[in-house]
Amino acid sequence: MSSHAPAGVEQIGGAPPDPTGTAPVVELDAVDRTFATDPPVLALRAVQLTVERGDYVAIVGPSGSGKSTLLNVIGLLDRPTGGTYRLDGIETRTLGDRERAALRAERLGFVFQSFHLLPHRTALENVMIGGLYQGLPQRVRLTRATEALARVGLAARAGFLPTRMSGGERQRVAVARALAAAPSLLLCDEPTGNLDTANTASILGLFDELIDDGLTILVITHDGDVAARAERRVRIVDGQLQELD
């Protein structure tokens, strides 16, 4: 796993990541997100959340509770309007767009409900695409993609097109694409929403294996069974977080 900050991070004023590797992966401190509508909508309210390395956290809540806004903030797709957000010890609010994009590409892996695979590219080619955002040479991307597919149990399917794969296999390819970037955090948005019961169990079993390997996973879901597999559960209602037992 990479431990160096993207070029330019320190120069922009964000603190470099803790050199000992002990800083939390995610630190949200009094984070607000207000949308400038009429009247303004306060989607996140003084959010406090710490995700340590190796944590498996589920964020649950009803529609309109702020889950998507929280995902966008943690994923560096949106900026808070108040508070601080540190990713791997780096303060992100002060970074410019280019530095945020570099940090997102290096530190975050995304898995969505829709697999977002290119149908006319093989599983291996789809996984290799992720490394383009990091500017990695083809040789490195090939090695990482091959290893990632093996890690999710799909080494034998590397040459298959997504159209010849089951829903669970396609989601495993999407997970492999995220893993190929060696992220600090795997950020999952309803990762089993398009899967049947058997494939859901397969993906959740894969997440268990990745946690055992030391990965940090944050899942945003409305599915109680999915959330129950996580080691920590946090509910969001009206933009506020509450840790559950």
Domain for residue 71, yes or no?
yes
pLDDT > 50? residue 209: yes
Domain for residue 22, yes or no?
no
Q: pLDDT tens digit string along 168-198?
A: 999 999 999 999 989 999 999 999 998 999 9
Residue 167 confidence class, pLDDT cut points 50, 70, 90: very high
C-alpha–C-alpha distance, residues 57 and 229, integer Å: 9
pLDDT > 70? residue 17: no
Average pLDDT over residues 126-153: 90
pLDDT of residue 237: 93
pLDDT of residue 170: 95
Q: pLDDT tens digit string along 19-77?
A: 456 799 999 999 999 999 888 899 999 999 999 999 999 999 988 899 999 999 999 99
- pTM, two decimals, is 0.87
Domain for residue 41, yes or no?
no
Domain for residue 197, yes or no?
yes
Domain for residue 120, yes or no?
yes
Average pLDDT over residues 208-217: 95
pLDDT of residue 1: 37
Q: pLDDT tens digit string along 74-109?
A: 999 999 999 999 999 999 988 999 999 999 999 999
Domain for residue 10, yes or no?
no
Average pLDDT over residues 226-240: 94
For the chain, give the DSSP string: ---SPPTTHHHHTPPPPPTTS-S-SEEEEEEEEEE--SS-EEEEEEEEEEE-TT-EEEEE--TTSSHHHHHHHHTTSS--SEEEEEETTEE-TT--HHHHHHHHHHHEEEEESS----TTS-HHHHHHHGGGGGT--HHHHHHHHHHHHHHTT-GGGTT--GGGS-HHHHHHHHHHHHHTT--SEEEEESTTTT--HHHHHHHHHHHHHHHHTT--EEEEES-HHHHHTSSEEEEEETTEEEEE-
Domain for residue 170, yes or no?
yes
Please tell me the total count of domains within the chain: 1
| CATH number of the domain residue 157 falls in | 3.40.50.300
Domain for residue 131, yes or no?
yes
Q: Which domain holds residue 196?
A: 53-77+104-244
